[in-house]
Amino acid sequence: MASETLNRIESTLASSGLILRGAFHPERADAVPARTDRHPTGTLVLIGNAGPEMFAAFTRDVASDPDIERPDPLDTWTREKLAEVSKTMDAEFLHVSDGPPYHPFQRWAMRAEGLKPSPIGVLVHPEFGPWHAYRGALLLAEKLDIPPPPDLGASPCETCEDKPCQTTCPVWAIGGEIYDVPVCARHVSTEGIDCRDGGCLARRACPVGWQWAYEEKQARFHMSAFLTAHGGS
């Protein structure tokens, strides 16, 4: 039953470029909110993306439906996709941007996929590298018979000798003990610089999963959203 349910989720999402990113049975410490129908969540299924496929589907839909092109268009679009699959599966969904307070998606990802944080904050996947994200979660009442999260062993970052992500940022917003968001935003607000047009240089320096790297249009889109969120222009 578990594989049938997960296969149905994957097939429903297929045309959107969104993918199933793991699942787990919530415990109290996971801080998974209750379903609105008062049924406990038996299984939480993470939904996300890797590489450029999701963004390609998003841009196609925007081109055919201009109404999507409104504030936070990617959030609007991913919410619609999550709503579609949740209706099909008799599930409820959470979106990564719900809040504040925000749901602990990184903690859930570490629980479901066994990933570990990188020096630049994002979770690094052994196949996708830093080129992936989580967009939402399905809350299923049924407790599916799912396998335990994979044992991925050491993080790719632990065996990376050069650690180029730590020395690539031109303004050292990344490379110390914290990510200096204001310094990053001020730098990226300058028109024509490489970070703004092609995406974060520290992220692009990661040698893991380079074949999944976001294309330039997607990188610019995400950087524009970052600037909007942090007072840039």
What are phi and psi for residue 142, nearest 5 degrees? -75, 140
Which residue, 138, 7, 139, is CA-closest to 78? 138
Clarify whether residues 201 and 106 are in a common domain. no
Digit-coded pLDDT (tens) for 168-197? 999 999 987 788 999 999 999 998 899 999
Q: Which residue has the tokens 């944080």?
A: 117
H or E element in which residue 105 lies: helix 105-113
Sorting pLDDT into bands at 50, 70 and 90, what band is 69? low
Query: Domain containing 203: what range?
Result: 164-229
Count of CB atoms situated within 10 Å of the CB of 206? 25
pTM of the model: 0.92
Kindly tell me the number of DSSP H helices and DSSP E strands found in the chain: 8, 6
In angstroms, the CA 109 to CA 24 distance is 10
Share of the chain above pLDDT 90, in %: 79
The count of structural domains within the chain is: 2
Clarify whether residues 135 and 216 are in a common domain. no
Per-residue DSSP letter, 76: H
| Averaged pLDDT, 152-180 | 90
49 located within any domain = yes
Per-residue DSSP letter, 125: B
Query: 115 near 153, Cβ under 8 Å?
Result: no
214 located within any domain = yes
Clarify whether residues 35 and 86 are in a common domain. yes
Clarify whether residues 104 and 21 are in a common domain. yes
| Averaged pLDDT, 111-133 | 93
Clarify whether residues 42 and 105 are in a common domain. yes
Query: 68 near 77, Cβ under 8 Å?
Result: yes
Judged against a pLDDT cut of 60, whether residue 155 lies above it is answered with yes
Digit-coded pLDDT (tens) for 83-95? 999 999 999 999 9
60 located within any domain = yes
Clarify whether residues 193 and 117 are in a common domain. no
In angstroms, the CA 93 to CA 179 distance is 30
